[in-house]
Amino acid sequence: MNKKTIITILLALVGMAGQAKTFKTIKNPVAMACVNVANGELKAREVIFRDTATTVYFTMEYSKGQSFQFVSSSYLMDEDGNRYPLRSAEGLKLNTWVQSPESGITEFTMHFAPLPKKIQIFDFIEGDGSGAFKLLGIHDKKYKIKFPMMQELADANPWAVPEDWFKTDTITVKGRIEGYDTEKFGFTSMECFFQNVFEKDNATQVLDIAPDGTFYKKFQAGKYHSSPAPVRPSTSPCAKMLETGTSVSITTAAAATLPAGSAHVTRLPTSFSL
């Protein structure tokens, strides 16, 4: 073997060693969701896994004449949250608005840092900005995705209902209307609205007002212990959240108005101090 032949063989070996190794290609991959592409759809036509880079061939179907852009901070992400940043793109200019052609179809290619061989499913995310394009769950259609069953989720997250989750107790509403005058005001009662969140049931409680302006009402409520029931005087726009077994005191002053050309009218104020 002469010297020229040896040099030729060595050059060939060096060339082979320098070539990127392709270990997987996915033709016509499927995705689980296309997000934030309001005027069209983003699709992956092909994915090539190499030891030096992961290449994704995309098709953007977008309304003709409308503009879109892809940013250079785009990346792929695996199931463990690891990111594989975009290195380069062909077929469109990054960080620049691109107008969709008459056909409404734009094809382009993106090269990312290499995904590990074991990766079966991954996401494309067009940067971390608000409204970024996302193509989630890209995978080979032959790959069977395992979704957790309800029993598996329950077994993995054991939880017991607290003993005091539900309880029946009373709620007390009491207070006083300062300056109350039965004859002048013309009313001797007021209302509170009670809502049971779980039963989706609303009820009205009538509170009798004593001659001195005081009122007191205790009523039964069965609820989840830390989600109190709203109680609201009908003459007030504000609401008070009450937990069963507790009470609230309300003190307010009566306000009198005298509309022009009418009899003397006295009413409760439009707000309470709770």
pLDDT of 251: 67
Q: Please give the Cα distance from 235 to 233 (Å, whole number).
A: 5
pLDDT score recorded for residue 246: 63
Contacts of 270 (CB under 8 A, 6+ apart): 235, 236, 237
User: What b/e sequence results for 29-43 when a residue is b if at least 16 CB atoms lie within 10 Å of its CB, and e otherwise?
Assistant: bebeebbebeebebb
pLDDT at 6: 54
Q: Which of 184, 182, 207, 185 is nearest to 194 (CA)?
A: 207
Quick one: pLDDT at residue 219?
76
Helices (H), 19-60: none
pLDDT of residue 205: 78
User: Quick one: pLDDT at residue 184?
Assistant: 82
Would you state the pLDDT for residue 28?
Answer: 95
Backbone CA torsion sign across 77, 120, 109, 55: positive
Length in residues, the chain: 274
Query: What's this model's pTM, rounded to 2 decimal places?
Result: 0.53
| Closest CA relative to residue 199, chosen from 240, 229, 169 | 229
Compute how many other C-beta atoms are within 10 angstroms of the C-beta atom of residue 168: 10
Q: In this structure, which amino acid lies at residue 238?
A: C
pLDDT of residue 268: 40
- Collect the ranges in the chain with pLDDT lower than 70: 1-19, 164-167, 194-201, 221-274
Place of tokens 């959240």: 241
Give residue 110's pLDDT: 98
- Contact predicate 78/122, CB 8 Å: yes
* Torsional sign, CA 50, 52, 53, 55: negative
